[in-house]
Homo-oligomer: A and B are copies of this chain.
């Protein structure tokens, strides 16, 4: 532990960037270690395997995000509508920038890839590791829409998750189209601002 930036962190940062922009399977360990400027074997030394690395890359964000969201929700004393719950996601998401610049977008992009990749491995990991926080979120949503059945709630949650994760996963391409077609620059925060009402409407119907 003498380096200012440890080898482990350098690997995490490089891997995260490459995974987010190219995907897990399409990114090789040699690309990662080149970008991180560390030896090839150090990934296996510090993480065990490539698969373990991918989990740790995502969990670096999740381990901060999930408790943050849960406390944010518990801070709100009376919940009356779904938009209130959803807006509890925004600040914790934006705080991911503290881990890395552009971290919010990259995390959501990773989440999108992970959800589509590798039949449910990531989903399983998340639901098992953060079951407590997920329970808090679901309870709050249920409280905000007591008329909804559990199954209705379940589907709408996943529709919303899908929209968010997919949009952010594709946000590079989308912002490029917007730039070309409308001659406008778009930030992640702006996308979220457009996204929230869209999701809320679907939720509340």
- Which residues of A line the B interface, CB within 8 A? 21-23, 25-26, 112-113, 115-120, 123, 150-152, 154-156, 158-163, 165-167, 169-170, 172-174, 176-178, 181-182, 184, 191, 194-195, 197-199, 201-205
Residues of B within 8 A of A160 (CB): 163
Q: Contact between A23 and B25 (Cβ–Cβ < 8 Å)?
A: yes
For the complex, what is the distance from the CA of A150 to the CA of B203, rounded to whole Å? Answer: 24
For the complex, what is the distance from the CA of A178 to the CA of B152, rounded to whole Å? Answer: 11
For the complex, what is the distance from the CA of A25 to the CA of B25, rounded to whole Å? Answer: 6
| A176 nearest in chain B by CB position | B120
Q: Contact between B173 and A123 (Cβ–Cβ < 8 Å)?
A: yes
Q: Contact between B166 and A115 (Cβ–Cβ < 8 Å)?
A: yes
Q: Contact between B150 and A182 (Cβ–Cβ < 8 Å)?
A: yes
Pick the contact of A170: B115, B178, B197 (CB < 8 A).
Answer: B115
| A171 nearest in chain B by CB position | B158
A–B Cβ pairs within 8 angstroms, 25 of them = A21-B119, A23-B25, A25-B26, A112-B116, A112-B166, A113-B116, A115-B166, A116-B166, A120-B170, A120-B172, A120-B173, A123-B170, A151-B182, A151-B184, A152-B194, A154-B178, A154-B182, A155-B191, A158-B170, A159-B163, A162-B165, A163-B202, A166-B166, A198-B205, A199-B202
Q: Contact between B201 and A22 (Cβ–Cβ < 8 Å)?
A: no
Pick the contact of A202: B162, B191, B201 (CB < 8 A).
Answer: B201
| Closest CB in chain B relative to A189 CB, distance in Å | 14
Q: Contact between B170 and A159 (Cβ–Cβ < 8 Å)?
A: no
For the complex, what is the distance from the CA of A156 to the CA of B196, rounded to whole Å? Answer: 11
Q: Contact between B151 and A162 (Cβ–Cβ < 8 Å)?
A: no
For the complex, what is the distance from the CA of A92 to the CA of B40, rounded to whole Å? Answer: 50
Residues of B within 8 A of A151 (CB): 178, 182, 184
Q: Contact between B178 and A116 (Cβ–Cβ < 8 Å)?
A: no
